Amino acid sequence: MLNHSVLAGWWDTLIVLSKMQQLINGSTSDYTKLILKLVIVLITMFNLICFSGCSKSEPISDTIENIDFETLKNEVNSGEAFILELAMSNCHYCKEFESECLNIPSRNEIRYLRLYLDNIDISELESLLNSNIDSVPVVSWIQDGKNQDNFPVSYQYSRKRLFQEWIDDNIAYFEVQ
């Protein structure tokens, strides 16, 4: 499905191509006509690649699944790999992390789940994940029924880039396909 920016890009390209066609028709030099036609072909190829062939995947924020505690227990027991964000609905730091880091492209190899802790028994959750939860947000790599790795959410410098690298590194390390 084409979004607004893709349609706007194609519209702008059509306007440029129309202007260039006017230049070709008004030109008397064969060399100028050849150069302008070459430019039209290059612009068309560039737009075909960028506006249709290079479609980006959805950001994590669009693919993240909000789950309840029972669903989390089932997911952990399944042994499958997933990224789990633990958050509170009114947490400033959680919202800051989400707005900064969850707009990176999602990876098809891994699911992103979020559990809001507002009405959760933390001790039961800590027992399930075999880890202490001292603050939120917490972002964990869960696989084989265990918390395998935590992203250092509190690190403020280049956090978006580091989050992307953390995901890529874990996908490679745990050989998720």
In whole numbers, what is the pLDDT of the chain averaged over residues?
Answer: 84
Q: How confident is the model at residue 123 (pLDDT cuts 50, 70, 90)?
A: very high
Spatial strand order in the sheet of 111-116: 65-67, 111-116, 82-87, 138-143, 146-151
Which pLDDT value is given to residue 31?
73
pLDDT of res. 79: 93
Using alpha carbons, list the distances in angstroms from residue 136 to 6, 99, 122, 145: 37, 15, 12, 21
* Residue 47 token pair: 């737009």
Q: Please write the tens of the pLDDT for every residue from 21-49.
A: 676 677 667 777 677 777 777 777 776 66
Both 65 and 46 in one domain: the answer is no
Share of the chain above pLDDT 90, in %: 59
Domain total for the chain? 2
Do 76 and 149 belong to one domain?
A: yes
Same domain, 89 and 156: yes
> Whole domain around residue 77: which residue ranges?
60-173
Average the pLDDT over 159-174 and give the result.
93
